Amino acid sequence: MSLAPSRKELVAGILLIVGLILAYAGQLVAVIAWPVRFPIGYHLLGDLSVRQCDALVEDFASRFLCSPQHGWFAAGLIGAGVCAILAGILLGQRWIVLILLGASLILWTFFPLDVAPTPHLWTGVLTFALFWFAVLLARPRFAFTWMWCVIALIGAGFALRHFYATPPGTPGVYQRIAIDALSLGLLMHASWLISRSRQASPKKRAARQRRDEEAAEKDAALRAASEAMENPHD
């Protein structure tokens, strides 16, 4: 039995919200388990994926990384990816970018920073690009899509600038701004889907139709009374 379009939008909206909750919950568990206070300014999101506690030496900086609960971080992203894929399937061809986003999120978890740094980097870039397009292409009227996408691009640009600075700046802050802006945009899209599905439900349509018919009858009665007053001898 196939779902009605309004029901599909309702389920898809709920799935997107659940996916966001899972992704952020996984990050929170990994951050809390970090051996020392997790300095969000100096660490990137991908740092939570490392499987061994060690110093990561790069061309321009060295960081000590240790994420004992990296499994929870990966599980949250996998859950978010599955939710995005299911939402994209329910919503149809126009939302295929959600399916690609979900697949990219899941793929990223297979490339921890300390195990496969190059695939980790480029899969992360791909995931961010798909996330950006997912927010941009949905375009509900009240979601301020352009605003979230512009903020995300500015945040990503500053993150790159601070990451490659000498000495390194605080790229983590700007990466968070970019990702959180897109997450807020997606949350608003999900809320819009849920709201529209409720408005399109059969009971809502029937009630709205009854209200429209009653309003039309009242308007007709008022017009008839007005005409009778204007032409009392007819």
pLDDT along the chain (234 residues), means of 10: 72 94 95 82 84 71 80 95 94 87 95 89 93 83 74 88 69 89 91 80 58 67 67 60
> Cα(193)–Cα(199) distance, rounded to whole angstroms?
10
In three-state secondary structure terms, 55 is: strand
Q: What is the pLDDT of residue 21?
A: 97
The token duo for 222 is 């008022």
> In this structure, are strands 54-57 and 62-65 parallel, antiparallel, or unpaired?
antiparallel
Q: What is the pLDDT of residue 204?
A: 56
Q: What is the pLDDT of residue 142?
A: 55
The token duo for 118 is 């190059």
HEC string of 62-79? Answer: EEEECCCCHHHHHHHHHH
Q: What is the pLDDT of residue 71?
A: 92
State how far the alpha carbon of 38 is from the alpha carbons of 44, 58, 67, 75, 76, in Å: 10, 19, 10, 20, 18
Sorted by where each begins, the domain ranges of the chain are 5-202
Tell me the β-bridge partners of 135: none
Q: What is the pLDDT of residue 225?
A: 65
Q: What is the pLDDT of residue 186?
A: 92
Distance linking the first and last C-alpha atoms of the chain: 60
The C-alpha R_g of the chain, in whole angstroms, comes to 25
